């Protein structure tokens, strides 16, 4: 049974890692892509949730429900920044910046969760910081897309806010948590589009298939596989293997989208993932609860 759960978890990570690649075939704005992704994914997860006989319990925890509301808004906004970053600075670099979100949480953990800041964590943070500088050297020198980098950092900061709110909502976890957050992310994107672009969304015929894949497979099925498997796996396994997601995003962007990374950026990517793994293994080993996706 554990092997099946492990395979489900790895497949979910690969699906999440391919989000940027699939989205590159959709000729819509970043906010419209997020809206459709969250809508299709929400419908699928709500259907599976109700079909499985589960019941919503979030209304029994008002304070934590408010935290989940903030978390869902942060998720929706984070995705909009991330998908904008995909188009501006490339899927690979945007994905690496986005996955600095958990590192931000770990860096703030002494203040937020009374976690001890060890020498190992500080070293890991140092690797990540240097890696970010190497990864974005072009932007820092004035020859890159500065707004794209800002979008990438914004997606990471909002991802961190999502994780923090999730951690504090201790009684609404797992599948229900995922359904509520994804639906709130959809509402966030819907409100944003309604006030900025309007709802006249025209999906080109050739974009229908990748849109369905992103919403139904990558988001709906991906979240289902993720949450139906992590509870059966060791925390260390989840922590270490979790970085297969940004790694696969970089690999797909290189081999499928033909995005190129300079040697300095490749070294930066190695430092970011390596430093993150060091920090996360140490952090999650002492923290027996897994963050919601």
Say which DSSP state 291 is in. Answer: P
Q: Tally helices (H) and strands (E) across the chain.
A: 15, 0
pLDDT, residue 47, reads: 93
Cα four-point dihedral sign 105, 107, 108, 110: positive
Q: What is the pLDDT of residues 50-94, one digit of tens each?
A: 998 888 888 787 888 898 899 999 999 999 999 999 999 999 889
Unique residue bearing structure tokens 């897994």: 290
Q: What is the pTM of this model?
A: 0.86
Cα distance between residue 98 and residue 155, in whole Å? 6
Lowest mean pLDDT among 21-25, 42-46, 61-65, 148-152: 61-65
Backbone torsions φ then ψ of 287, nearest 5 degrees: -125, 100
Q: What is the pLDDT of residues 269-283, one digit of tens each?
A: 888 888 877 776 655
Name which of 13, 4, 2 is nearest 226 in CA terms.
13
pLDDT, residue 178, reads: 86
Q: What is the pLDDT of residues 109-165, one digit of tens each?
A: 778 777 777 777 778 878 887 888 777 765 555 556 789 999 999 999 999 998 888
Residue 20 sits at the vertex; the CA angle it makes with 187 and 200, to the nearest 5 degrees, is: 40
pLDDT, residue 220, reads: 93
Q: In the predicted model, what is the mean pLDDT of the chain?
A: 84
Q: Mean pLDDT, to the nearest integer, of 231-255?
A: 79
Length of the chain: 293
Cα distance between residue 128 and residue 116, in whole Å? 19
Q: How far is CA 92 from the centre of its chain?
A: 14
Measured from the Cβ of residue 29, the count of other Cβ atoms closer than 10 Å reads 17
Say which DSSP state 97 is in. Answer: H
Unique residue bearing structure tokens 């990864």: 135
């Amino acid at each position: 049974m554990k092997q099946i759960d492990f395979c489900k978890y790895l497949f979910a990570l690969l699906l999440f890692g391919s989000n940027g690649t699939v989205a590159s075939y959709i000729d819509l704005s970043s906010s419209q892509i997020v809206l459709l992704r969250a809508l299709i994914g929400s419908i699928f997860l709500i259907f599976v949730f109700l079909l499985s006989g589960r019941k919503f319990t979030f209304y029994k925890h008002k304070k934590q429900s408010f935290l989940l509301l903030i978390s869902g808004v942060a998720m929706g906004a984070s995705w909009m920044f991330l998908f904008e970053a995909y188009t501006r600075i490339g899927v690979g670099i945007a994905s690496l910046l986005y996955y600095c979100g958990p590192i931000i949480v770990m860096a703030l953990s002494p203040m937020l969760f009374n976690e001890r800041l060890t020498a190992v964590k500080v070293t890991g943070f140092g690797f990540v910081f240097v890696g970010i500088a190497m990864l974005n050297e072009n932007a820092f020198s004035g020859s890159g897309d500065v707004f794209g980098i800002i979008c990438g950092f914004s997606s990471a900061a909002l991802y961190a806010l999502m994780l923090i709110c999730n951690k504090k909502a201790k009684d609404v976890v797992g599948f229900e948590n995922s359904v509520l957050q994804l639906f709130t992310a959809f509402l966030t994107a819907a409100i944003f589009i309604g006030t900025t672009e309007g709802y006249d969304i025209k999906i080109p015929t050739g974009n229908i298939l990748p849109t369905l894949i992103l919403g139904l497979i990558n988001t709906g099925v991906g979240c289902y596989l993720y949450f139906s498997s992590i509870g059966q796996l060791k925390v260390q396994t989840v922590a270490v293997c979790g970085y297969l997601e940004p790694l696969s995003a970089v690999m797909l962007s290189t081999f499928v989208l033909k995005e190129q990374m300079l040697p300095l950026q490749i070294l930066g990517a190695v430092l970011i993932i390596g430093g993150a793994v060091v920090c996360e293994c140490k952090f999650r080993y002492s923290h027996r609860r897994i963050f919601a996706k």
